[in-house]
């Protein structure tokens, strides 16, 4: 779980750091999505075979929610705000959107205590991300909505964690590469003007860290600690991000009341008893991977 929190913080710091590095946004995206494919290449043939059994809507949700569209929106928000807000707003707003999507799609009920927790999160985001970062905060909230779609897609996918990483990285890597090769997107990689240190840093943090380590470590943490403990410890990620942003980017740790509200809301939401999900959830539990962590309709991970 400590590795997962560190990787999540590295994602937020990396997104914020694109503007100060020698890489363009599309360069960073290419590194982010190609690196996991190289590291997980032995599993690609098996994943491609299993993709035939996956619904197109689920694949689209995964690819949009955690693939290139999400990355570009998050990067745009990072340029307009701070690393601390990237690390706070995106994961902080995911429970709100997941709860709303679950209510709209599955008819899942939202209890009054859950509404109170989600309201606290929303109030905290408003406090932490007010002007002059208002526009950037809205962009980060949109990125949180993308990630919520990914979360809901994970709830019903037939793919295991490795297969999920490959499935979302393949189209994102192809589109990133085509955009750079056709000149549709600026690139310093193709002109060999990107600093080697920046390339290596993003290979380790975004490619191997976010792309592979987090995807594998979080399920392990859930199995060992339990979903509630793991999800609650995950709320430490914004704090780690904010503290690391001070020496790295010179960003002061401001908006503390907003941070406290968001983190308290996320922890409270994750500690609340999960509601019954009905027959649809029971059917999903009978998938070929019922032994791996599944996502409850309210967005929390359960075993």
| pLDDT, tens digit (0-9, with 9 covering 90-100), for 88-140 | 999 999 999 999 998 888 888 888 999 999 999 999 998 887 655 588 999 99
For the residues 216-225, what does the mean pLDDT come to? Answer: 84
- Is the predicted pLDDT of residue 157 greater than 50, yes or no? yes
Task: Indicate if the pLDDT at residue 65 is higher than 60.
Answer: yes
Mean pLDDT of 7-26: 94
The pLDDT of residue 118 = 93
- Res 294: pLDDT: 40
Backbone angles phi, psi at 122, to 5 degrees: -60, -40
Spatial contact of 270 and 302, defined as CB atoms under 8 Å apart: no
Instruction: Judge whether residue 69 has pLDDT over 60.
Output: yes
3-17, 178-192, 223-237, 238-252, range with the lowest pLDDT = 223-237
Q: Does position 275 have pLDDT exceeding 70, yes or no?
A: no
**Residue-number span of the structural domain to which 206 is assigned:** 2-302
**How far from the centroid of its chain's Cα atoms is residue 234's Cα?**
12
Q: Report the pLDDT value the prediction gives residue 292, as an integer from 0 to 100.
A: 39
The residue-averaged pLDDT of 164-185 equals 96
* pLDDT in the model for residue 155: 83
Beta bridge partners of 294: 302
pLDDT band at 28; cut points 50, 70, 90: very high
pLDDT of residue 279: 35
Q: Report the mean per-residue pLDDT for the chain.
A: 86
The whole model's pTM is what?
0.85
Most confident of 58-72, 147-161, 220-234: 58-72
Strands (E) across the chain are located at 294-295, 301-302
Give the pLDDT confidence score for residue 130 in this predicted structure: 67
Total domains in the chain come to 1
Closest CA to 30 of 72, 90, 59: 72
Q: In which band, very low, low, confident or very high, does the pLDDT at 274 lie, cut at 50, 70 and 90?
A: low
Cα–Cα dist 32/55, whole Å? 25
CB 225, CB 303: distance < 8 Å = no
More confident residue, 290 or 69: 69
Predicted pLDDT at 105:
84
pLDDT band at 232 (very low <50, low <70, confident <90, very high): confident
């Amino acid at each position: 779980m400590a590795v997962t929190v560190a990787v999540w913080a590295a994602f937020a710091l990396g997104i914020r750091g694109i503007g100060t590095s020698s890489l363009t946004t599309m360069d960073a995206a290419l590194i982010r999505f190609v690196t996991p494919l190289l590291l997980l290449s032995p599993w690609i043939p098996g994943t491609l075979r299993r993709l035939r059994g996956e619904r197109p809507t689920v694949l689209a949700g995964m690819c949009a929610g955690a693939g290139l569209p999400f990355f570009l929106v998050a990067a745009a928000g990072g340029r307009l705000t701070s690393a601390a807000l990237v690390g706070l707003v995106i994961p902080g707003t995911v429970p709100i959107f997941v709860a709303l999507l679950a209510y709209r799609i599955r008819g899942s009920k939202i209890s009054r205590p859950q509404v109170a927790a989600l309201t606290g999160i929303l109030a905290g985001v408003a406090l932490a991300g007010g002007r002059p970062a208002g526009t950037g905060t809205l962009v980060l909230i949109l990125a949180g909505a993308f990630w919520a779609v990914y979360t809901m897609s994970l709830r019903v996918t037939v793919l295991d964690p490795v297969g999920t990483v490959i499935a979302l990285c393949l189209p994102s890597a192809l589109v990133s590469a085509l955009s750079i090769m056709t000149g549709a997107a600026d690139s310093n990689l193709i002109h060999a003007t990107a600093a080697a240190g920046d390339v290596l840093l993003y290979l380790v943090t975004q490619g191997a860290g976010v792309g592979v380590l987090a995807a594998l470590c979080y399920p392990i943490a859930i199995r060992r600690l339990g979903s509630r403990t793991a999800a609650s410890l995950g709320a430490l990620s914004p704090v780690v991000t904010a503290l690391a942003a001070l020496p790295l980017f010179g960003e002061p740790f401001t908006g503390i009341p907003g941070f406290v509200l968001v983190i308290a809301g996320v922890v409270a939401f994750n500690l609340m008893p999960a509601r019954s999900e009905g027959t649809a959830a029971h059917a999903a539990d009978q998938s070929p991977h019922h032994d791996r962590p599944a996502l409850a309709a309210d967005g929390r991970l359960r075993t």
